């Protein structure tokens, strides 16, 4: 008798806790694109393109104007998102051939899975080890191609035919509709390869923007005179460092014969004119800019269309009401600013990343925030949204309160950054630094060069005022703040080696072979 009541009591509470979990905890859809500049999202800047579907998330949610990354490059940013820890502690500081994410360490997906979330990651992963903490995974291998990707799952490899951005979305929708455990809330990482280099548009978009001229940024012809050596010493200019493959002057290797024919036909006339005209100097840079940016925007267009498909499904299925939708990128990107493509720098275009979040009933539609948040905060915020405790070893802070319209008085007033990958592939000198609301101090520590920018007076970061005596007290304050942050985040210049890739794609060692293997 006693035993019966005891079992009935236990079963009742077990039932209550399961049904509460299933009913109340929000689903979390984390949409992650690769190298998506905020300048190419019309919710931020509509001068170059329109992204109506991504903009819906901003219109119905919150747009963050100051979202930063800790280390502006693909794999490292992803490791930060998984762990809530800086690169030197999560063991993934660069994309070198030996880079290998240690999935045995604590991650947000593992904690969500253990707490009863149905978890999945689909698309670009780029951490080299297999995903851990996911009930389902279906990922590109390394960077993955734009066309006909071979993808890896927990059950083996799958050969796909078609355009990768569409395929990633098809797999994502299939999981949402048919594969997830519908008794549980879900955490889904829906991660695009696009618009990463080398910007191969979908066949249906390859003619878009053909007869328009995309506006050039003010700093396309930057001469780098106002900064230290690194700005001049890089290899990422629109003028000189785009390859024939980047510029679609030669066919793309990942397409099949039929795709290649349609694709190259779209470029044929312009390529012929270029060859005949023998453009040089500024005119050739302008040509390169138009070609690169148009292809980039075409890749963004496919991402936007596919984000629309997923948002439509949330509407149709009724999931919309209890699903938090996060749109962000692994970092920002240069669309010709400073004469560049690529990322890496602590300058604003690559230090910042887009961040849009919709949470019906919680986040005010059409709201914006200027608070300085970071990709370091994503794991903590997601755990907080799910009602889970945040482990002490995570180094960021949940910004759920900001999402809910609060204004935490003790929110951070400065952000710490550390970039490592050098010399290849783009010869950007390693640097760390601090940004406050108004100033940014950068130290290129391999050559002991410093830059200071007054962002109020110089938002494009064209002239360092580090050596200007009028700023000497600012320099002293920022150096003290930099020291404080390095201590706070335990960055003493060494990187924890979590463990190394047992099968590196290229031979280990310094220099070319090591850095080239998995770069970009
Ligand atoms: Ca990236």
Provide the pLDDT confidence category of residue 498 given band limits of 50, 70 and 90: low
Q: Cα dist. 89→105, 133, 182, 389, 431 in Å? A: 10, 19, 36, 20, 17
For ligand 1, the distance from its centroid to the CA atom of residue 401, given in whole angstroms, is: 28
**CA atoms of 478 and 424, how far apart (whole Å):** 30
For ligand 1, the distance from its centroid to the CA atom of residue 304, given in whole angstroms, is: 17
Number of CB atoms found within 10 A of residue 132's CB: 17
For ligand 1, the distance from its centroid to the CA atom of residue 470, given in whole angstroms, is: 37
Q: How confident is the model at residue 154, as a pLDDT?
A: 96
- The pTM assigned to this predicted structure is 0.93
Written as six digits, the tokens of 512 are 């070319």
pLDDT digits 0-9 by tens, 339-355: 999 999 999 999 999 99
For ligand 1, the distance from its centroid to the CA atom of residue 7, given in whole angstroms, is: 53
For ligand 1, the distance from its centroid to the CA atom of residue 23, given in whole angstroms, is: 35
pLDDT at 116 over 90: yes
* Phi and psi at residue 516, to the nearest 5°: -70, -30
**CA atoms of 300 and 246, how far apart (whole Å):** 16
Residue range 286-303: average pLDDT?
Answer: 98
Which residue stretches of 392-471 are H helix?
400-403
Provide the pLDDT confidence category of residue 172 given band limits of 50, 70 and 90: very high
Q: How confident is the model at residue 97, as a pLDDT?
A: 77
269, burial (CB in 10 Å: exposed 0-12, middle 13-18, buried 19+)? exposed
Q: How confident is the model at residue 520, as a pLDDT?
A: 59
For ligand 1, the distance from its centroid to the CA atom of residue 459, given in whole angstroms, is: 23
For ligand 1, the distance from its centroid to the CA atom of residue 196, given in whole angstroms, is: 7
Torsional class of 416: left (φ above 0), alpha (ψ -120 to 50), beta (otherwise): beta
Written as six digits, the tokens of 228 are 């230290």
Say if CB 440 and CB 434 are below 8 A apart: yes
What percentage of residues in the chain have a pLDDT greater than 90? 89
Provide the pLDDT confidence category of residue 502 given band limits of 50, 70 and 90: low
Provide the pLDDT confidence category of residue 505 given band limits of 50, 70 and 90: low
Residue range 15-23: average pLDDT?
Answer: 46
148: Cβ contacts below 8 Å, ≥ 6 apart: 159, 160, 161, 162, 254, 255, 256, 259
Q: How confident is the model at residue 441, as a pLDDT?
A: 98
Q: How confident is the model at residue 503, as a pLDDT?
A: 61
For ligand 1, the distance from its centroid to the CA atom of residue 59, given in whole angstroms, is: 25
For ligand 1, the distance from its centroid to the CA atom of residue 458, given in whole angstroms, is: 26
Provide the pLDDT confidence category of residue 98 given band limits of 50, 70 and 90: confident
**CA atoms of 451 and 461, how far apart (whole Å):** 10
For ligand 1, the distance from its centroid to the CA atom of residue 519, given in whole angstroms, is: 10
Q: How confident is the model at residue 16, as a pLDDT?
A: 43
Residue range 17-33: average pLDDT?
Answer: 76
For ligand 1, the distance from its centroid to the CA atom of residue 35, given in whole angstroms, is: 4
Q: How confident is the model at residue 515, as a pLDDT?
A: 36
For ligand 1, the distance from its centroid to the CA atom of residue 8, given in whole angstroms, is: 53
For ligand 1, the distance from its centroid to the CA atom of residue 83, given in whole angstroms, is: 17
| Beta strands, E only, 101-224 | 118-123, 136-140, 150-153, 156-159, 186-191
Residue range 119-145: average pLDDT?
Answer: 97
| Beta strands, E only, 60-193 | 62-64, 67-68, 118-123, 136-140, 150-153, 156-159, 186-191
pLDDT digits 0-9 by tens, 362-384: 999 999 999 999 999 999 999 99
- Shortest CA distance to 75 belongs to which of 420, 426, 415, 373? 420
For ligand 1, the distance from its centroid to the CA atom of residue 355, given in whole angstroms, is: 14
Written as six digits, the tokens of 19 are 């049904």
For ligand 1, the distance from its centroid to the CA atom of residue 38, given in whole angstroms, is: 13
Q: Is 216 helix (H, G, I), strand (E, B) or coil?
A: coil
For ligand 1, the distance from its centroid to the CA atom of residue 354, given in whole angstroms, is: 12
For ligand 1, the distance from its centroid to the CA atom of residue 104, given in whole angstroms, is: 24
**CA atoms of 176 and 181, how far apart (whole Å):** 9
pLDDT at 389 over 90: yes
Q: How far apart are the first and last CA of the chain?
A: 67
Number of CB atoms found within 10 A of residue 392's CB: 6
pLDDT digits 0-9 by tens, 197-230: 999 999 999 999 999 999 999 999 999 999 999 9
For ligand 1, the distance from its centroid to the CA atom of residue 194, given in whole angstroms, is: 9
pLDDT digits 0-9 by tens, 33-72: 999 999 999 999 999 999 999 999 999 999 999 999 999 9
Provide the pLDDT confidence category of residue 497 given band limits of 50, 70 and 90: confident
């Amino acid at each position: 008798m006693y035993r019966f009541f005891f079992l009935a009591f236990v079963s009742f509470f077990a039932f209550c806790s399961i049904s509460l979990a299933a009913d109340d905890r929000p689903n979390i859809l984390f949409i992650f694109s690769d190298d998506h500049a905020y300048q190419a999202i019309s919710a931020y800047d509509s001068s170059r393109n329109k992204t109506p579907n991504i903009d819906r998330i901003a219109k119905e949610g919150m747009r963050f104007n100051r979202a930063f990354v800790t280390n502006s490059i693909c794999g490292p940013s992803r490791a930060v998102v998984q762990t809530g820890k800086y690169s030197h502690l999560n063991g993934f500081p660069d994309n070198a051939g030996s880079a290998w994410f240690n999935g045995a360490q604590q991650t947000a997906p593992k904690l969500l899975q253990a707490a009863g979330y149905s978890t999945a990651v689909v698309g670009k992963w780029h951490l080299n080890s297999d995903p851990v903490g996911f009930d389902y995974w279906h990922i590109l291998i390394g960077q993955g191609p734009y066309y006909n990707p071979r993808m890896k799952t927990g059950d083996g490899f799958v050969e796909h035919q078609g355009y990768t951005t569409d395929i990633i979305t098809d797999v994502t929708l299939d999981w949402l509709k048919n594969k997830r455990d519908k008794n549980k809330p879900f955490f889904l990482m829906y991660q695009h390869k696009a618009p990463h280099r080398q910007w191969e548009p979908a066949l249906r978009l390859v003619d878009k923007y053909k007869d328009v001229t995309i506006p050039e940024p003010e700093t396309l012809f930057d001469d780098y005179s106002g900064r230290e050596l690194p700005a001049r010493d890089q290899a990422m200019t629109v003028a000189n460092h785009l390859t024939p493959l980047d510029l679609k002057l030669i066919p793309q290797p990942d397409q099949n014969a039929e795709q290649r024919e349609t694709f190259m036909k779209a470029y044929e006339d312009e390529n012929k004119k270029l060859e005949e005209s023998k453009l040089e100097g500024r005119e050739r840079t302008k040509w390169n800019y138009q070609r690169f940016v148009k292809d980039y925007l075409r890749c963004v267009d496919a991402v936007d269309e596919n984000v629309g498909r997923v948002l439509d499904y949330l509407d149709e299925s009724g999931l919309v009401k209890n699903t938090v939708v996060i749109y962000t990128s692994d970092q920002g990107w240069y669309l010709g600013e400073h004469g560049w493509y690529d990322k890496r720098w602590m300058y604003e275009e690559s230090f910042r990343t887009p961040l849009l979040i919709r949470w019906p009933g919680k986040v005010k539609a059409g709201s914006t925030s200027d608070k300085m948040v970071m990709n370091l905060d994503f794991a903590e915020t997601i755990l907080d949204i799910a009602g889970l405790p945040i482990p002490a070893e995570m180094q960021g802070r949940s910004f759920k309160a900001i999402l809910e319209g609060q204004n935490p008085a003790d929110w951070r007033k400065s952000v710490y950054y550390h970039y490592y990958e050098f010399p290849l592939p783009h010869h950007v000198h390693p640097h760390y630094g601090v940004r406050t609301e108004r100033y940014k101090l950068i130290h290129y520590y391999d050559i002991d060069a410093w830059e200071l920018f007054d962002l109020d007076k110089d938002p494009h970061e064209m002239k360092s005022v580090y050596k200007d005596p009028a700023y000497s007290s600012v320099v002293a304050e920022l150096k003290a703040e930099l020291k404080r942050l390095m201590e706070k985040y335990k960055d003493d210049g060494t990187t924890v080696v979590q463990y190394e890739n047992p099968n590196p794609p290229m031979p280990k060692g310094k220099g070319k072979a090591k850095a080239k293997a998995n770069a970009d």
